[in-house]
C-alpha cells in the first residue's frame, strides 16, 4: 500500500512537529506501507525505508495548494494523510485529515467576515470529502459533528502523547542561580506557551498587577518567543506598571532551561482553548508544579495531579496566583508521561488505514 504523508508544515524545533515525526518513524518501523514523505526544504529529514520529496509549496497557502494538487493527481497513491485543514483542496482521491483543532475557525484572525466565510466553506468541503477525520479530544469531535455537520462515523479520536521524554537523573546537577542572574529578590513563575492569543496571558498580567498593589510581589518569566515578539503585551506591561516584575526572555539556552524551571514556584498555563497541552511537556518532565485553566481537555489528561482555576475570570485568576505563593512539593508525573506512546497511536492509526483500504 502506497501512502503519501504531508510533512511540509513540520520543523525540528516545535513539539507538534516532533510529535508527528515520532508517528512517522513508528510507521516506518512497522514496514507495512510504502511511504512517501513530502517535506519543506528547512526540515532535515533522513529516514530509512521511505521516499522523501522536498517541495517548495507553502502548506498554509490556498493558492500554492491548488498548484500542488496537480502534482498529487499525477501520483498513484492509495491513501494520503494531511495534517491541516487547508489540504487537500478539491482533491477527490482517498485521504485522511488529522485535525489538531478548530482554533483557526473560532479565533482567526480573519481580515473580515467574507474571509471567515470562505475559510469555513473550504474547511467544511475538505473535511466532508475526507474518508476519515482524526482529532484529539471529545470537544473537537462534538464541534465537527454539531457545528460542521460531519457524520459521527467519519470522526475518530486517538489519544495523544507527550513526544519528549527527559531522562531523570539521580545525580545532583549544578543549577544556574536564576534569581542572581536577573537580580531578583522575590520568587517567580513561568509562562511558556507559544500562541499567546488563546493562552490568555493578559489576565495573568492583570493578576500580577493586583498582587503587586497588595504587596504580594511575584515575578513572571515569559519564555515564549511569540509572546516576547508581541508588542501589545509589552504595552500592557508598561501601562500596568509591572515591567519590574515581568521578564521577557527571548530565547533560553537549552542548558539553562532546567535551571529556570526547577527554581520557579510553578508553571502557569491559562489557556482558553486547548486540545492537547504540548507546552507542558517540559514542566511534566522536570516534575514542576503546574497551575492551569480548568478546561476539560486538560483535566482529562492531567487529572488531579495539578491545580486548576477559572482562566476566564479575572478575580479567580488573581485568587489562584495568591493561593500558590508558596512553592509546592514537586510532583511525580511519570504516570502521565507514560500513559500513551507513539506505538499506541500508530496501532490505532493502522486500524483506520486498514479499514479505509478494505472499503476503497
Is the pLDDT confidence value at 155 over 90?
yes
SS3 246: strand
**CATH number of the 178-337 domain:** 3.40.50.2000
Q: What is the pLDDT of residues 308-326, one digit of tens each?
A: 999 999 999 999 998 888 7
CATH 3.40.50.2000 residue ranges in the chain? Answer: 2-161+340-359, 178-337
Q: What pTM value is reported for the model?
A: 0.92
Range list of β-strands (E), 229-312:
246-248, 267-269, 290-293, 307-309
Please state which architecture CATH assigns to domain 2-161+340-359.
3-Layer(aba) Sandwich (3.40)
Question: At 103, which helix (H) or strand (E)?
Answer: helix 103-107
Peptide bond into 109 cis (omega under 30): yes
Q: Which residues contact 248 (CB under 8 A, 6 or more apart)?
A: 222, 227, 228, 234
Question: At 53, which helix (H) or strand (E)?
Answer: strand 51-54
Q: What is the pLDDT of residues 260-296, one digit of tens each?
A: 999 999 999 999 999 999 999 999 999 999 999 999 9
Instruction: Give the confidence band of 328 by pLDDT, cuts at 50, 70, 90.
Output: confident
133 strand-pairing partners: 97, 155
Amino acid at each position: 500500500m502506497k501512502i503519501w504523508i504531508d510533512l511540509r508544515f513540520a520543523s525540528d524545533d516545535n513539539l507538534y512537529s516532533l510529535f508527528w515525526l515520532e508517528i512517522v518513524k513508528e510507521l516506518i518501523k512497522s514496514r507495512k506501507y510504502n511511504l512517501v514523505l513530502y517535506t519543506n526544504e528547512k526540515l532535515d529529514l533522513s529516514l530509512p525505508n521511505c521516499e522523501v520529496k522536498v517541495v517548495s509549496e507553502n502548506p498554509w497557502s490556498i493558492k500554492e495548494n491548488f498548484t500542488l494538487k496537480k502534482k498529487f493527481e499525477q501520483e498513484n497513491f492509495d491513501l494520503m494523510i494531511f495534517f491541516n485543514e487547508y489540504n487537500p483542496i478539491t482533491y477527490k482521491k482517498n485521504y485522511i485529515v488529522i485535525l489538531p483543532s478548530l482554533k483557526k475557525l473560532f479565533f482567526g484572525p480573519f481580515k473580515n467576515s467574507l474571509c471567515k466565510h470562505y475559510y469555513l466553506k473550504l474547511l467544511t468541503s475538505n473535511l466532508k470529502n475526507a474518508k476519515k477525520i482524526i482529532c484529539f479530544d471529545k470537544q473537537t469531535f462534538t464541534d465537527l459533528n454539531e457545528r460542521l455537520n460531519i457524520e459521527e462515523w467519519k470522526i475518530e479520536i486517538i489519544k495523544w502523547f507527550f513526544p519528549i521524554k527527559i531522562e531523570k537523573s539521580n545525580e545532583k546537577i549544578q543549577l544556574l542561580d536564576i534569581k542572581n542572574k536577573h537580580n531578583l529578590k522575590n520568587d517567580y513563575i513561568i509562562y511558556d506557551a507559544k500562541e499567546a492569543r488563546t493562552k490568555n496571558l493578559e489576565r495573568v498580567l492583570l493578576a500580577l498587577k493586583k498582587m503587586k498593589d497588595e504587596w504580594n510581589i511575584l515575578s513572571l518569566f515569559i519564555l515564549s518567543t511569540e509572546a516576547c515578539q508581541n508588542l501589545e503585551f509589552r504595552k500592557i506591561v508598561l501601562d500596568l506598571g509591572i515591567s519590574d516584575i515581568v521578564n521577557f526572555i527571548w530565547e533560553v539556552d537549552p542548558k539553562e532551561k532546567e535551571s529556570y524551571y526547577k527554581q520557579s514556584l510553578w508553571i502557569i498555563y491559562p489557556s482558553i482553548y486547548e486540545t492537547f497541552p504540548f507546552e507542558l511537556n517540559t514542566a511534566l518532565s522536570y516534575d514542576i508544579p503546574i497551575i492551569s485553566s480548568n478546561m476539560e481537555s486538560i483535566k482529562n489528561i492531567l487529572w488531579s495531579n495539578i491545580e486548576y482555576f477559572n482562566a476566564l475570570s479575572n478575580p479567580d485568576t488573581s485568587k489562584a496566583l495568591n493561593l500558590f505563593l508558596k512553592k509546592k512539593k514537586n510532583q511525580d508525573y511519570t504516570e502521565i508521561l507514560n500513559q500513551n506512546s507513539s506505538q499506541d497511536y500508530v496501532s490505532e492509526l493502522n486500524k483506520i488505514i486498514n479499514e479505509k483500504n478494505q472499503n476503497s
